[in-house]
Amino acid sequence: MSAALAYDSFDDYVAFCDGIRTLAKIDLSQYKRGQMERRLRTFAERRGIKSLSEYLAVLKQDADELEQFLDRLTINVSQLWRNPEQWAAIGRTVVPELASAGRIRIWSAGCSYGAECYTIAAVCLEQAPNVRLEVKGTDIDPRMLERARIGHFTTEDARSVPAASLARWFDKTDLGWQAKPELRKLMSFDRGDLLSMRFTPSAYDLVLCRNTVIYFNEPVRDLLHERLVTTLRPGGFLVVGSTERVGVAGSLGLTLAQPFTYRKA
Ligand SMILES: C[S@@+](CC[C@H](N)C(=O)[O-])C[C@H]1O[C@@H](n2cnc3c(N)ncnc32)[C@H](O)[C@@H]1O
């Protein structure tokens, strides 16, 4: 962090979080402080602003600046078939078990621009072509959801997709790959803040929450996992990212079915 940055004697980070909660209804205090604070101070510094108090004042006065801040706040990194070995395992074991019921209802919580949603839809249909599939994606970032609805991905996004899957589910464009209508029609995307949204009990057979809770502090992460589990029907699965685990799995009635994949009792 630059020594040039001025620090207020009171906790300007806490004051900034309070201000953003009022201004944008986003509760930054539930994210990991070290990581979030570094990012916020870097944003401010890049705008030539020397303190978080001053940055908050600018955001309050300037709607464009606030929009740009919100755009940069979330980390939207994703890709199709991210961690391909996870998708291969889900296709082999989870999908056949769920497909035996004839219908799979899926929620991608923190879906970014939808890569995970299109991936799971393709993985399910490759294993179980006749299954009825509903894929919902939610994210806090409306810009990402607009992209998700379009279903267009760059060549870089598609770098881990098996060649046969790419050819089967996507059309080549000048800039990358467009998901075919038969995948797009299975998708719905809604804005949802995982820290404040309502959770519908037993609404899903499979919940994906990957690379999203890593930004939250531990108590918030555990509470979120608990709430996600309530949205699963008994026998449903929760999938987390390849660097994550459910800290409170046992007390939530979860057993590890395979790496990063939990089955609800
Ligand atoms: C790194 S992306 C993960 C995308 C995808 N799940 C994957 O693994 O490729 C994290 C996503 O979480 C979203 N996010 C962050 N805080 C959120 C919140 N409070 N509620 C909902 N989504 C949130 C971000 O907007 C971002 O799109």
Q: Among 209, 184, 214, which Cα is nearest to 260's?
A: 209
Q: Tell me if 26 CB under 6 Å of ligand 1.
A: no
Please compute the mean of the pLDDT values over residues 236-263 and round it to a whole number: 95
Beta partners for residue 190, in sequence order = 138
Q: How far is CA 128 from the centre of its chain?
A: 25
**The pLDDT of residue 4:** 42
Q: Give the DSSP letter string of 216-249.
A: B-HHHHHHHHHHHHHTEEEEEEEEE-TT---TTT
**CB proximity list for 42: less than 8 A, separation 6 or greater:** none
Helices and strands of the chain, counted as H and E runs: 11, 10
Whole-angstrom CA distances from 200 to 96, 193, 229 are 25, 14, 10
**The pLDDT of residue 5:** 47
Ordered alpha helix ranges (H), 159-238: 163-169, 181-184, 218-230
What separation in Å is there between the alpha carbon of 183 and the centre of ligand 1? 21
Please compute the mean of the pLDDT values over residues 165-174 and round it to a whole number: 98
- Please determine, for residue 1, whether its predicted confidence score (pLDDT) is greater than 60: no
- Please determine, for residue 180, whether its predicted confidence score (pLDDT) is greater than 70: yes
Q: How far apart are the first and last CA of the chain?
A: 47
Listed as own residue / partner, the contacts of 127-133 with beta carbons closer than 8 Å and 24 or more positions apart are: 127/91, 127/92, 127/95, 127/96, 127/99, 128/95, 128/96, 128/99, 128/104, 131/98, 131/99, 131/102, 131/103, 131/104, 132/102, 132/103, 132/104, 133/103, 133/104, 133/106, 133/186
What separation in Å is there between the alpha carbon of 156 and the centre of ligand 1? 19
Residue 27 class from Cβ within 10 Å (0-12 exposed, 13-18 middle, 19+ buried)?
middle
User: Quick one: pLDDT band at residue 9, thresholds 50, 70, 90?
Assistant: low
- Please determine, for residue 104, whether its predicted confidence score (pLDDT) is greater than 70: yes
Q: Among 74, 79, 111, 73, which Cα is nearest to 192's?
A: 111
- pTM as predicted: 0.90
Q: Tell me if 243 CB under 6 Å of ligand 1.
A: no
Q: Tell me if 144 CB under 6 Å of ligand 1.
A: yes
Residue with the larger pLDDT of the pair 120 and 1: 120
- Residue of the nearest CA to atom 13 in ligand 1? 110
User: Quick one: pLDDT band at residue 10, thresholds 50, 70, 90?
Assistant: confident
What separation in Å is there between the alpha carbon of 2 and the centre of ligand 1? 28
Lowest mean pLDDT among 71-80, 94-103, 238-247: 71-80
- Please determine, for residue 2, whether its predicted confidence score (pLDDT) is greater than 50: no
Please compute the mean of the pLDDT values over residues 186-198 and round it to a whole number: 96
pLDDT in tens, 11-53: 999 999 999 999 988 899 999 999 999 999 999 999 999 999 9
Phi then psi for 151, rounded to 5 degrees? Answer: 75, 30
Q: What percent of the chain has pLDDT over 70?
A: 97
Please compute the mean of the pLDDT values over residues 185-191 and round it to a whole number: 98
Residue 4 class from Cβ within 10 Å (0-12 exposed, 13-18 middle, 19+ buried)?
exposed
What separation in Å is there between the alpha carbon of 58 and the centre of ligand 1? 26
Tell me the CB-side half-sphere exposure of residue 260, using CA atoms within 13 A: 18
**The pLDDT of residue 90:** 97
Q: Tell me if 239 CB under 6 Å of ligand 1.
A: no
Average pLDDT over the chain, rounded to an integer: 94
pLDDT in tens, 194-248: 999 999 999 999 999 999 998 899 999 999 999 999 999 999 999 999 989 999 9
pLDDT in tens, 123-147: 999 999 999 999 999 999 999 999 9
Task: Spell out the domains of the chain, with CATH numbers in brackets.
Answer: 12-73 (no CATH), 84-264 (3.40.50.150)
Whether the Cβ atoms of residue 253 and residue 226 lie closer than 8 Å to each other: no
Whether the Cβ atoms of residue 199 and residue 30 lie closer than 8 Å to each other: no
Q: How far apart are CA 221 and CA 38, in angstroms?
A: 20
